[in-house]
Amino acid sequence: MDVVQLSRLQFGLTAMYHFLFVPLTLGLSVLLAIMESIYVTTGRTVWRDMVRFWGTLFGINFALGVATGLTMEFEFGTNWAYYAQYVGDIFGAPLAIEGLMAFFLEATFIGLFFFGWKRLTQVQHLFATVMVALGTNLSALWILIANGWMQNPVGARFNIATMRMEVTDFYAVLFNPVAQQKFVHTVSAGYVTGSMFVLSVGAFYLLRGRHRGLAIRSMTVAASFGLASALSVVVLGDESGYTIGLNQKMKIAAIEAMWRTEPAPASFTVIGIPDIGTHTTIGAIRVPWVLGLIATRSLNTEVAGIDNLVSDAKQRIKGGMIAYGAMQTLRGHPDDAVARAAFDAHANDLGYALLLKRYTPNVTDASEDQILAAAEDTIPPVLPLFVTFRVMVVLGLYFIALFAAMFVLASRRQLERHRWLLRVCLWSLPLPWVAAELGWVVAEVGRQPWTIDGVLPTFLSVSSVPVSNVWISLAAFVLLYSVLAVVEVYLMVRTIRHGPHAPAQRAA
């Protein structure tokens, strides 16, 4: 494995591990605000005890999330130095704002949440809890603005003088439609995770005949909030498909394993086995019109197939070669009007020319075979995307069914009547994390071969470091994160077994 593969593996592992904590933090923070609002409204101490119990679990998860998230930002400098240098002016701004705004907001009010029960009034403490929830969501917002720009790089241009991407319209970066869609979809998935966590732990207590009052009330809130969140995930997932259809056509074609452009409106493949060699899908079961409606919101607009998009990439690579040659001329002769006109006409294709760096150091003299090879590199891994997307969709529909069933039972005060359903809730605990991780895979693997879509290829983004350095840091991360995983599971299980009267809660 070379530096590129190892760096991708390291960042992928650390990101996926960190994302184990993020969804639960998002979901529990809002559930805590809901529960404490009920406590302040009713004055019933059982709701205060619920907030303190679930707050203890939130605090454990929050601490591990912070510890694992900080290392990822350092990886941009250690493993992805050229990426950081090339787009740091744009990518760094949302990360800085996230730290200065959201993280410090969380850090301040989470202290008040844990240590302010006897020092603040009920309303003041509720305000602190709401600010914790707001801070966690704002943190996700700024991170996803940065990630959304990687998926859809708007509001920026390449500066020949500095050889870097620079911001031209921060408003466009901030209100990037991809970023906004990713934010609402991600936080909704986090709400599902938090709701399933509360639902599963509540089911555990009911099955054991313990803490009945806390369990029933917690499950009622979780079932209601979870059902609304699960429905939102599906609706926002549909919106995500439309956004991808507009901005990342190759990603949606790969998710569908659609090699050839179909007549509009395109059908959606429910199940099948993509055959990469023959560019077909074996045993495909398709639903007419669905993909066309999702990706284009119309019945007469085509969804481009992979083969057609490769042909488009070839043309963009050739346009990028012109821009690359003009850039070299302008580096030596900034006032060359002809070179400037050529560069401006093809500047948007410059990133495609960089794909040729894998095959030749002299981009402007690339052969047709090299251009074709570079164009075919724009195809992301089809089989993983095809499978993970469908598993994610199935899980999303399962969550709706489960939350709906528990909502009906909670409304009828019959949560304890069907023990088999309580067991289903308990064993469903890991599924939201599975869905969240698969969603991350679809989003990030589907962007390949780009770090910044259409701008900077992944293989050019890494640091110039020895392979041994990456191996050492990768091994260190695996060891450290394994220890943290054991600590996390131990603390969470111990707190859940002790219940709402755990020593850690009384100390808080």
pLDDT tens figures, 477-495: 889 888 988 998 999 999 9
C-alpha–C-alpha distance, residues 184 and 190, integer Å: 10
Residues 313 and 448 in one domain: no
pTM of the model: 0.93
Residues 458 and 335 in one domain: no
Residues 129 and 223 in one domain: yes
The token duo for 468 is 């041994």
Q: What is the mean pLDDT of residues 168-175?
A: 93
C-alpha–C-alpha distance, residues 382 and 306, integer Å: 10
- On the question of pLDDT at 442 being above 60, the answer is yes
Position 253 in a domain: no
Residue with tokens 């079961």: 285
Antiparallel, parallel or unpaired: β 280-287 and 450-452: unpaired
C-alpha–C-alpha distance, residues 179 and 186, integer Å: 10
Q: What is the mean pLDDT of residues 126-149?
A: 94
- On the question of pLDDT at 506 being above 80, the answer is no
More confident residue, 506 or 399: 399
41 phi and psi angles, rounded to 5 deg: -75, -45
Residues 39 and 142 in one domain: yes
Residues 358 and 449 in one domain: no
Residues of the domain holding 387: 3-248+383-507
Residues 22 and 113 in one domain: yes
Q: What is the mean pLDDT of residues 201-212?
A: 94
Q: What is the mean pLDDT of residues 437-450?
A: 92
Q: Which residue, of 376, 391, 421, is where some domain finishes?
A: 376
The token duo for 500 is 């709402």
What's the Cα-to-Cα distance from 338 to each of 158, 242, 321, 463, rounded to whole Å?
18, 39, 15, 35
Q: Count of domains in the chain?
A: 3
Q: For residue 503, what pLDDT is reported?
A: 41
C-alpha–C-alpha distance, residues 164 and 84, integer Å: 10
Residues 137 and 276 in one domain: no
Position 256 in a domain: no
Share of the chain above pLDDT 70, in %: 98
389 phi and psi angles, rounded to 5 deg: -60, -45
Residues 354 and 424 in one domain: no
What's the Cα-to-Cα distance from 453 to each of 148, 252, 337, 372, 450, rounded to whole Å?
10, 14, 29, 19, 5
Q: What is the mean pLDDT of residues 15-39?
A: 94
386-430 pLDDT, tens digit each: 999 999 999 999 999 999 999 999 999 999 889 999 999 999 999
Q: For residue 255, what pLDDT is reported?
A: 93
pLDDT, the chain, mean: 91
Q: For residue 73, what pLDDT is reported?
A: 81
- Taking alpha carbons only, the member of 231, 112, 247, 262 closest to residue 177 is 247
* DSSP H or E run through 129: helix 122-151
- Taking alpha carbons only, the member of 166, 182, 173, 7 closest to residue 81 is 7
Report residue 508's pLDDT band, with 50, 70 and 90 as the boundaries: very low
Position 394 in a domain: yes
Position 149 in a domain: yes
Position 301 in a domain: no
Position 42 in a domain: yes
Taking every pair of C-alpha atoms in the chain, what is the biggest distance, in angstroms? 81
Q: What is the mean pLDDT of residues 140-168?
A: 93
C-alpha–C-alpha distance, residues 169 and 172, integer Å: 5
Residues 178 and 89 in one domain: yes
CA angle 23/26/30 to nearest 5° reads: 140
415 phi and psi angles, rounded to 5 deg: -60, -30
Residues 228 and 351 in one domain: no
Share of the chain above pLDDT 90, in %: 73
Residues 133 and 271 in one domain: no
Is residue 179 within 8 A of residue 149, CB to CB? The reply is yes
Residue type, 225: F
Residue type, 470: V
Q: Which residue, of 328, 358, 376, is where some domain finishes?
A: 376
Position 254 in a domain: no
DSSP string, 194-256: HHHHHHHHHHHHHHHT-SHHHHHHHHHHHHHHHHHHHHHHHHHHHHHHHHHHHH-HHHHHHHH
Q: Average the pLDDT over each of 34-48, 55-69, 124-138 and give the range with the smallest value.
A: 55-69
What's the Cα-to-Cα distance from 3 to each of 102, 270, 361, 460, rounded to whole Å?
33, 37, 19, 11
Position 468 in a domain: yes
Q: For residue 294, what pLDDT is reported?
A: 87
- Taking alpha carbons only, the member of 348, 263, 276 closest to residue 302 is 263
304-347 pLDDT, tens digit each: 999 999 999 999 999 999 999 999 999 999 999 999 999 999 99
Residues 324 and 216 in one domain: no
- On the question of pLDDT at 104 being above 90, the answer is no
Q: What is the mean pLDDT of residues 154-180?
A: 93
Helix, strand or coil, per DSSP, at residue 271: strand
